[in-house]
Amino acid sequence: MRTAFFPGTFDPVTLGHVDVVRRAAALFDKLIVAVAVNTSKEPMFSLEKRVEMLKRTCSGIANAEVISFEGLLVDAIEKYGVVTVVRGLRAISDFEYEFQMAMMNREINAKFETVFLMPSPQYSFVSSRMIKEIVSLGGDVSPFVPGIVMDEMGARR
Amino acid sequence: MRTAFFPGTFDPVTLGHVDVVRRAAALFDKLIVAVAVNTSKEPMFSLEKRVEMLKRTCSGIANAEVISFEGLLVDAIEKYGVVTVVRGLRAISDFEYEFQMAMMNREINAKFETVFLMPSPQYSFVSSRMIKEIVSLGGDVSPFVPGIVMDEMGARR
Amino acid sequence: MRTAFFPGTFDPVTLGHVDVVRRAAALFDKLIVAVAVNTSKEPMFSLEKRVEMLKRTCSGIANAEVISFEGLLVDAIEKYGVVTVVRGLRAISDFEYEFQMAMMNREINAKFETVFLMPSPQYSFVSSRMIKEIVSLGGDVSPFVPGIVMDEMGARR
Amino acid sequence: MRTAFFPGTFDPVTLGHVDVVRRAAALFDKLIVAVAVNTSKEPMFSLEKRVEMLKRTCSGIANAEVISFEGLLVDAIEKYGVVTVVRGLRAISDFEYEFQMAMMNREINAKFETVFLMPSPQYSFVSSRMIKEIVSLGGDVSPFVPGIVMDEMGARR
Amino acid sequence: MRTAFFPGTFDPVTLGHVDVVRRAAALFDKLIVAVAVNTSKEPMFSLEKRVEMLKRTCSGIANAEVISFEGLLVDAIEKYGVVTVVRGLRAISDFEYEFQMAMMNREINAKFETVFLMPSPQYSFVSSRMIKEIVSLGGDVSPFVPGIVMDEMGARR
Amino acid sequence: MRTAFFPGTFDPVTLGHVDVVRRAAALFDKLIVAVAVNTSKEPMFSLEKRVEMLKRTCSGIANAEVISFEGLLVDAIEKYGVVTVVRGLRAISDFEYEFQMAMMNREINAKFETVFLMPSPQYSFVSSRMIKEIVSLGGDVSPFVPGIVMDEMGARR
């Protein structure tokens, strides 16, 4: 059985993330969607809430499992017997950062592999960071996030 | 009448900005130069001061109007009946960020259009962020900013 | 009256081109779509055919005019009293080439201005060159080109 | 069973290609290495020779199969029941071209998926095109290609 | 005598930095390795410690001298009679930032020259920032830094 | 004595090339400007003419020597006892190609070093290829090339 690992902060989960989850789940026997502790000072949602929202968002994808995740990626891939890490690739600046991270991880653990998937064009420009900016200015982000995220934001007010 | 909108923090306004204002004003009936609230903790100049300096800098460009601006860009373009947002394009990293922002804005409001202009080569490397770095180290930024900015900085000491 | 100029080989015209024509025509009083002589040895369509197809494709856009075009861009903008050249911006490699060309043209004629527009995401990856590759391998390019191009290709067989 | 598809001209196969084959074969049940007809006028090796060299190079990788391949990629993935195309990612310019091709293919066939793998850093700069340049100038390419390619080139002289 | 200047925060010094020092020292009569005050709030090592570690790391390179450095780069090159600044070039995002900085410095002082060197591929993905991230998560960075850095980190615990 | 090597086809030499020659000559004891045989089918100027024009253009730079050059760069640097190859860096696409070439050369000969210099912003967009395009369309390239190139082109007609 081949397990892939899709790490991220998912703060919040976007339709671009969901697109990558769906694509990656079709390529491997199991996909672990791993929500990382957000080290930034002001996360939009708590770790627990982010895990919960992802679980509900991915509930229809049978071989996807959502976990929370702390520490080094190289340790996690050992623990879960992962064959590859999965990353969505949006843009040039992404590519550079992802490449650096993947290479350093591979140097630490030669078994470390990363595959990059492309989201659909309509999601290729969606980023959690910009969603947070739009929300902070009172804008509507419903075209970019699953309904469950909209519900949670509504419940807060 | 076609109105274009050039948003930015302009903290401080640079000769590169002025170059873009001049070029954009020649292409549209009216150009609104819109100074955004700077969300970073330590702006170099207050919003009022930035508006004032831009007004004096652009006083010779008849169809340019300087305003201050808060909230979502998509709301502003509705309010002012704007046909397009204008952005200067300096470098690759610019391009990626601008592209993402423009695409997300267009998704929120299909009428949202962005045109990119190129500043003259001698200004293609000038950025407000670097100007702040140089000033913080006691350096001379007179080759990069209008005289009015130099005057304001001198008045502060 | 402000006239913009959208030059290209349009061999063949794509839905991405049409998207840019529509967006640019909304920003200026008049848009000249200028079909350049294709210097490559094996054009897919003759200059006349390309002009004809573009004319029919753009017939619903009142302020767009299709012409054929030879020689230097800087001469054409003088001749037609153009305020700016318009280019669609797809990708990084595009950006570099376009930037170089625009800068050299501006050096030759200081009045030379270029604005870059972004096509819709669903067209952001469409290129005439790839369409030619797909056609040469017997593939279906109907998702990428106007119906008139499909008709012309069918008529040839 | 999940089958992946690694297309290329492999003219000649490089150690970078071999690195990608090895990595991809570990992620899927079967990897089809598909040698495309080289449309350039002067291939270094014939299609048959390229297939033969790849077969010998990959003989130690049990689940890799080498075939020759003509026509559209989207047709090949249907024919072979492929879940994803595999591509090595070397550099920015690669990324742009690969992205465009993958997106157009996905538009033609929604099932079309592409994953990008990173070769080891020591192979990240190796390209078949530069190998051909070096060979044409009488240089030694043994650090970049499998021994079998060196043998073939020696036999020619 | 020609002196080159290699500025950085070196927090911590990496094997990539050492590789660049070695390469640059071979090209000029003297190489000044200049440790800048780290303006970020939480440096990993103090300025003194960073200078000390670099001195020990570079002790075998006869014409390299390690100093600490404050203020503007353009002032330092005057003070030390430097013919050129040296920078390692890792990636696209580096390139953009470095280009901007070099151009603005040259505008301030026309004598300002920058040459870019490429580190070996195995170090091309190593960055101080990522090393700090890995250390903060309890990871092993010994493949990326000189032994002296590992010793210092061990002594801290 | 340290010798640097600036290879190129220089077809034709541009003011950007001259800018790089001037900058590089100030950094090394000797600069060899090496005109490569142009492998493209239709060179603008013969190898002899290109060498002659470069010699006249560089006659005021005491430590620059112009030669013609055939074969592998790695062989040339051995023959002339070169410490480093010099390249001008204009843009992203340049960077990628240059990086690949430099890395492959270094793999062939570990002594192979390359330094990249930045031309002045006003020349950062000038390329020989675009100059040829402009000339073929009857345009004026006098802002981009030395007077000697203009003279030669005039003499031809």
State pLDDT tens for residues B77-90: 999 999 999 998 87
- Measured between beta carbons, which residues in chain C are less than 8 angstroms from residue F126? 104
Question: What pLDDT is recorded for position E58?
Answer: 96
- Proportion of chain A above pLDDT 90, given as a percent: 58
- The residues, any chain, with a CB within 8 Å of residue F140's CB and separated by 6 or more, are C108, F134
Per the structure, the count of domains in chain A is: 1
Q: In this structure, what token pair is assigned to residue C142?
A: 């109907």
Would residue E79 show up in a list of annotated catalytic residues for this protein? no
Could you read off the pLDDT of D135-157 as tens digits, one per residue?
A: 988 889 999 999 999 999 888 76
Distance from CA of B118 to the nearest CA of C (A): 7
- Proportion of chain C above pLDDT 70, given as a percent: 93
pLDDT band at E53, cuts 50/70/90?
very high
SS3 D6: strand
E99 touches chain D (CB under 8 A): no
Identify the sign of the CA torsion F50, F51, F57, F58: positive
Across the beta sheet with A3-8, the strand order is: A64-69, A30-36, A3-8, A82-88, A114-117, D114-117, D82-88, D3-8, D30-36, D64-69
Is the model's pLDDT at F96 over the cut of 70?
no
The amino acid present at E126, given as its one-letter code, is: V
- Proportion of chain F above pLDDT 70, given as a percent: 93
Name the active-site residue from E30, E50, E87, E90: E90
Question: What pLDDT is recorded for position C95?
Answer: 63
Chain C CA closest to residue A122: C121
B150: part of which helix (H) or strand (E)?
helix B147-156
In eight-state DSSP terms, residue C123 is G
Q: CA nearest E128: which of E12, E8, E36, E5?
A: E12
D78 touches chain C (CB under 8 A): no
E125 touches chain F (CB under 8 A): no
Best residue of A128, A134, A142, A145 to probe chain B, by most B CBs closer than 10 Å: A134
E134 touches chain A (CB under 8 A): yes
Question: What pLDDT is recorded for position A91?
Answer: 60
State whether C103 and B121 contact (CB < 8 Å): yes
Q: Which CATH number fits the domain that encloses residue F34? A: 3.40.50.620
Top-ranked range on mean pLDDT: pick from D58-72, D106-120, E115-129: D58-72
pLDDT band at A114, cuts 50/70/90?
very high
Q: CA nearest A69: which of A8, A149, A4?
A: A8
| E72, E96, E107 member nearest B93 (Cβ) | E96
**Higher per-residue pLDDT: D113 or B38:** D113
Could you read off the pLDDT of D3-36 as tens digits, one per residue?
A: 999 999 999 999 999 999 999 999 999 999 999 9
Question: What are F31's strand-pairing partners?
Answer: F4, F64
The pair phi, psi for residue B79, each rounded to 5°, is -60, -40
- Measured between beta carbons, which residues in chain F are less than 8 angstroms from residue C107? 143-144
D92 touches chain E (CB under 8 A): yes
DSSP calls for F46-97 = -HHHHHHHHHHHTTT-TTEEEEEE-S-HHHHHHHTTEEEEEEE--SHHHHHH
- Proportion of chain D above pLDDT 90, given as a percent: 59
| E93, E124, E143 member nearest A108 (Cβ) | E143
Name the active-site residue from E22, E40, E41, E156: E41
B110 touches chain A (CB under 8 A): no
Chain B CA closest to residue F120: B122
Question: What pLDDT is recorded for position D52?
Answer: 97
Could you read off the pLDDT of E59-82 as tens digits, one per residue?
A: 999 999 999 998 888 899 999 999
Distance from CA of C106 to the nearest CA of D (A): 26
Could you read off the pLDDT of A142-154 as tens digits, one per residue?
A: 999 999 999 998 8
Question: What pLDDT is recorded for position A9?
Answer: 92
Mean pLDDT check: name the lowest of A36-45, A108-117, E133-142, F116-125: A36-45
Give CA–CA dist F82/F84, Å, rounded.
6
Give the structural domain span for D144.
3-156
In eight-state DSSP terms, residue F122 is G
Question: What pLDDT is recorded for position D157?
Answer: 64
Summarize the confidence of residues C81-98 as an average pLDDT.
79
C102 touches chain B (CB under 8 A): yes
A92 touches chain E (CB under 8 A): yes
Is the model's pLDDT at C27 over the cut of 90?
yes
Query: Which chains does chain B touch, 3 or more C-beta pairs < 8 A?
Result: A, C, E, F
Question: What pLDDT is recorded for position E91?
Answer: 60
Distance from CA of B58 to the nearest CA of A (A): 28
Distance from CA of F116 to the nearest CA of B (A): 18
Top-ranked range on mean pLDDT: pick from A147-156, E30-39, F141-150: F141-150
Question: What pLDDT is recorded for position A93?
Answer: 59
State whether D144 and F107 contact (CB < 8 Å): yes
pLDDT band at E157, cuts 50/70/90?
low
Could you read off the pLDDT of B60-80 as tens digits, one per residue?
A: 999 999 999 988 888 999 999
Could you read off the pLDDT of A117-126 as tens digits, one per residue?
A: 988 888 888 8
Best residue of B93, B95, B141, B142 to probe chain E, by most E CBs closer than 10 Å: B93
Give CA–CA dist B4/B125, Å, rounded.
24
Summarize the confidence of residues C69-78 as an average pLDDT.
90
Distance from CA of B119 to the nearest CA of F (A): 12
Question: What pLDDT is recorded for position A107?
Answer: 82
Is the model's pLDDT at F121 over the cut of 90?
no
Distance from CA of A49 to the nearest CA of D (A): 30
State whether F84 and E27 contact (CB < 8 Å): yes
Question: What pLDDT is recorded for position B133?
Answer: 86
Question: What are E85's strand-pairing partners?
Answer: E5, E114
Q: CA nearest E86: which of E116, E127, E62, E112?
A: E116
Mean pLDDT check: name the lowest of C84-88, D83-87, F69-73: F69-73
Summarize the confidence of residues A40-52 as an average pLDDT.
89
Is the model's pLDDT at D40 over the cut of 80?
no
Question: What pLDDT is recorded for position E45?
Answer: 94
State whether D2 and A27 contact (CB < 8 Å): yes
Give CA–CA dist C50/C53, Å, rounded.
5
Name the active-site residue from D17, D30, D50, D87: D17
Summarize the confidence of residues E80-96 as an average pLDDT.
81
Query: Cβ atoms within 10 A of the Cβ of F66, count?
Result: 25
State whether F2 and E84 contact (CB < 8 Å): no
**Higher per-residue pLDDT: B96 or D102:** D102
State whether D100 and C140 contact (CB < 8 Å): no
Give the position of tokens 């078949």.
D128
Q: Are strands D82-88 and F30-36 parallel, antiparallel or unpaired?
A: unpaired
C144 touches chain D (CB under 8 A): yes
The amino acid present at D137, given as its one-letter code, is: L
Is the model's pLDDT at C74 over the cut of 60?
yes
Mean pLDDT check: name the lowest of C52-56, D81-85, D98-102: D98-102
E142 touches chain A (CB under 8 A): no
Is the model's pLDDT at A157 over the cut of 70?
no
Question: What pLDDT is recorded for position B104?
Answer: 82
Question: What pLDDT is recorded for position F100?
Answer: 77
Question: What pLDDT is recorded for position E94?
Answer: 64
Question: What pLDDT is recorded for position D92?
Answer: 58
Give CA–CA dist E96/E85, Å, rounded.
16
Question: What pLDDT is recorded for position A53?
Answer: 97
Active site residues of B: 17, 41, 90, 128
Question: What pLDDT is recorded for position A41?
Answer: 65
Question: What pLDDT is recorded for position F92?
Answer: 57
Distance from CA of B144 to the nearest CA of F (A): 14
Could you read off the pLDDT of A6-43 as tens digits, one per residue?
A: 999 999 999 999 999 999 999 999 999 999 986 666 78
State whether A113 and D116 contact (CB < 8 Å): no
Question: What pLDDT is recorded for position F15?
Answer: 96
- Measured between beta carbons, which residues in chain B are less than 8 angstroms from residue F124? 121, 124
Summarize the confidence of residues C9-24 as an average pLDDT.
95
State whether E100 and B138 contact (CB < 8 Å): no
Could you read off the pLDDT of F8-48 as tens digits, one per residue?
A: 999 999 999 999 999 999 999 999 999 998 666 678 999 99
- Measured between beta carbons, which residues in chain B are less than 8 angstroms from residue A128? none
D143 touches chain E (CB under 8 A): no
Say if residues B140 and B153 touch (Cβ distance below 8 Å): no
pLDDT band at C91, cuts 50/70/90?
low
Q: In this structure, what token pair is assigned to residue B7?
A: 């948003």
Active site residues of F: 17, 41, 90, 128
State whether E91 and A100 contact (CB < 8 Å): yes
Question: What pLDDT is recorded for position B67?
Answer: 97
F122 touches chain B (CB under 8 A): yes
The CA-based angle C92-C97-C99, given to 5 degrees, is 90
pLDDT band at A137, cuts 50/70/90?
confident
**Higher per-residue pLDDT: B127 or D90:** B127
B81 touches chain A (CB under 8 A): no
Summarize the confidence of residues C8-35 as an average pLDDT.
96
State whether C134 and D104 contact (CB < 8 Å): yes
- Measured between beta carbons, which residues in chain E are less than 8 angstroms from residue D124? 121, 124
Best residue of D23, D77, D115 to probe chain A, by most A CBs closer than 10 Å: D115
- Measured between beta carbons, which residues in chain C are less than 8 angstroms from residue B92? 92, 95
Summarize the confidence of residues E86-110 as an average pLDDT.
77
